[in-house]
Structure 1
Amino acid sequence: MPSRKGDRRERELVNLLDEHGFAVMRAPASGAATDRDLPDVLAGDGQRFYAIEAKASSGRPIYLDADEIESLSYFADSFGAEAIVAARFDHEAWYFFDPTELYRTDGGNYRVKKETALREGMDILAICGQSEQSRLF
């Protein structure tokens, strides 16, 4: 998310995770500023450790290319964290996904639709281990 709106959404996600007891670090250089495979956000609470790729949209589907998911998974595995895609649509909460469970397009990329996020995405309580959904992580 290289835009100002994207930066704002990443900071919003960092604050949300912080409010739920995570130590959080945003890596604003992810993507263009380095050749390293870096997630947008790293978060941990002593029990759970996440490498997060954050995406926001006004309502259109969110697309992630295969390289983004591969880089996220590589970093997460190397770091000892779980890879997560965080999706936020305007006027909605953050929803979280295991990248291996995202819809794969015919071109090999990944997609999250708003309807899918609302129906299938995990909420912040699941990420924190405070809901029935948390058994997925």
Structure 2
Amino acid sequence: MNLNLCINYLRMLINIKQVYSVGRTKGYSAERELVVKLWRMGFAVMRAPASGSKIKRAKYPDVVAIKSCRVLVFEVKSRSKLESIYIDEGQIRKLKEFADRAGGQAFIAVKISGDKWRVVGLEQLEKLNSNTYKVSREVLLSSKGLEELLRDLKLIPSLEDFIRQT
């Protein structure tokens, strides 16, 4: 085998790995950011170690958060700009199954670069075909922020509640 051919092949593999890693790193970073944010709000929270991996039979969400016996499970998406998001039907099915088994609620948490966290309930997803769900740009624009959702679920106090307590 030609040495130059081997070197070129290795360079190609390294480039593929780097391209693949950049997208994965952004996803991990968003998941970690959500974990830290929820932890600081008083949740017991963890990032599932198998999230995003190639384990086909696993039914793990990206992030699980528990507070006051309430379980929230999140599929985390990260985008550089506000645009529609397409999600594989298998991811949604696994997320829902995990939430059902845990007696919890399932959400899609979306981090747009330079913007607040947006949270979408599964009932807001649009089923495009047997394999794909869509979170439209319009749904993202009208979706609740993380803090707003948690206040609505009575998991963090509203400003009025906080003032009443002091």
Distance 1:8 1:71 in 2: 22
Q: Work out which of the residue numbers 72, 75, 85 in structure 2 matches 1:53.
A: 75
Q: Work out which of the residue numbers 51, 66, 69 in structure 2 matches 1:44.
A: 66
By how many angstroms is 1:91 displaced? 1.4
Consecutive aligned runs of 4 or more in structure 1 exceeding 3 Å deviation: none
- Tell me the amino acid that sits aligned with residue 64 of structure 1: I
TM-score (normalised: structure 1)? 0.83
- Tell me the amino acid that sits aligned with residue 65 of structure 1: D
Q: Is residue 116 of structure 1 aligned with residue 139 of structure 2?
A: yes
Q: Is residue 11 of structure 1 aligned with residue 11 of structure 2?
A: no
TM-score (normalised: structure 2)? 0.70
Q: Is the 8 A contact 1:89 1:114 kept in 2?
A: no
Residue equivalent to 1:24: 45
- Tell me the amino acid that sits aligned with residue 24 of structure 1: V
Q: Is residue 100 of structure 1 aligned with residue 128 of structure 2?
A: no
Residue equivalent to 2:97: 74
Higher share of residues assigned helix: 2
Higher RCO by CA contacts (8 Å cutoff, separation 6 or greater): 1
**For residues 2-33 of structure 1, what are the alpha-carbon distances to aligned partners after superposition, in whole Å with 9 as ceiling and x for unaligned?**
60011001001111111222111101312324
Residue equivalent to 1:88: 111
Q: Is the 8 A contact 1:31 1:38 kept in 2?
A: no
Distance 2:52 2:76 in 1: 12
Secondary structure in 2 aligned to 1:3?
helix
By how many angstroms is 1:47 displaced? 4.1
Secondary structure in 1 aligned to 2:144?
coil
**For residues 82-116 of structure 1, what are the alpha-carbon distances to aligned partners after superposition, in whole Å with 9 as ceiling and x for unaligned?**
11111121111111111122122245522224443
- Tell me the amino acid that sits aligned with residue 31 of structure 2: E
Q: Identity across aligned pairs (percent)?
A: 34
By how many angstroms is 1:62 displaced? 1.5
Larger radius of gyration: 2
Distance 2:73 2:85 in 1: 18
Distance 1:66 1:12 in 2: 25
- Supply the RMSD in Å over aligned alpha carbons: 2.0
**Count of paired positions:** 130
What are the ranges of 5 or more consecutive residues in structure 2 without an aligned counterpart? 1-22, 155-166
What are the ranges of 5 or more consecutive residues in structure 1 without an aligned counterpart? none
